[in-house]
Chain A
Amino acid sequence: EPEVTQTPSHQVTQMGQEVILRCVPISNHLYFYWYRQILGQKVEFLVSFYNNEISEKSEIFDDQFSVERPDGSNFTLKIRSTKLEDSAMYFCASRSDRVDTEAFFGQGTRLTVV
């Protein structure tokens, strides 16, 4: 069964450093997302990406965040200068362009900023 894969599974970084979280969405999907989940809290939307551009973003997705689809398979989230409060699980998701279909989520990257 096709799945969304994320790497790394766990990333520890120093405050102020840049991190790149990587995702390989399901191959025939056209909508890509990043969500964040702080420990014990709900899943929060960060950004959606379609047709090589951001289609929607939340207030969390400020100037320190960026997304990129550098080739036909990868979808990345870059955090330019990490803060302690960026520590969370980051989930990538993808979705087909059929109306009313679920988003498929990866297993997540646990980001720990120290």
Chain B
Amino acid sequence: GESVGLHLPTLSVQEGDNSIINCAYSNSASDYFIWYKQESGKGPQFIIDIRSNMDKRQGQRVTVLLNKTVKHLSLQIAATQPGDSAVYFCAENGGDAGNMLTFGGGTRLMVKP
């Protein structure tokens, strides 16, 4: 079946370094992608999104890259800070009725001081 998945379950980085979190998706009909951050005991929090007609989008310290050829999505966090420690989920919208989001399995980012 269609799925959204993540390559690495845990990523440990040094404070100040850049982080890259990857996501693979298999639904070629997906046309909208979102990265969410989830801190312990909290709900998913929107970070950045990208539409399928784009291959890159930048926010504050974050960049999302989309490679539709290989169905790959990545989140880059510049100058990672301890407050960035969380689980990161990619989610995709395949244009289903109700605009349901399908979430990947999540990557835990751990920032070492």
Q: Is A18 an interface residue (CB 8 A)?
A: no
Minimal beta-carbon separation of B6 from chain A (angstroms): 9
Task: Indicate if the CB atoms of A91 and B100 lie closer than 8 Å.
Answer: no
Task: Indicate if the CB atoms of B43 and A91 lie closer than 8 Å.
Answer: yes
Q: Is B113 an interface residue (CB 8 A)?
A: no
Which residues of A lie under 8 Å from residue B43 when comparing CB positions? 4, 91, 105-108
Which residues of A lie under 8 Å from residue B96 when comparing CB positions? 56
Task: Indicate if the CB atoms of B103 and A104 lie closer than 8 Å.
Answer: no
A contacts with B, residue count (CB < 8 A): 24
Q: Identify which of A4, A95, A105 gathers the most chain B CB atoms within 10 Å of its CB.
A: A105
How many contacts A-B (CB < 8 Å)?
61
Task: Indicate if the CB atoms of B93 and A100 lie closer than 8 Å.
Answer: yes
Stretch at the interface among B10-18, B44-52, B60-68, B74-82: B44-52
Minimal beta-carbon separation of B94 from chain A (angstroms): 11
Bound state CA distance, A80 and B64, in angstroms? 41
Which residues of B lie under 8 Å from residue A102 when comparing CB positions? 34, 46, 49
Chain A residues in the interface with B (C-beta under 8 A): 4, 31, 33, 35, 41-45, 48-50, 55-56, 91, 95, 100, 102-108
**5 extra interchain contacts, Cβ-Cβ under 8 A, other than A48-B99, A104-B46?**
A31-B98, A35-B103, A56-B96, A100-B49, A105-B43
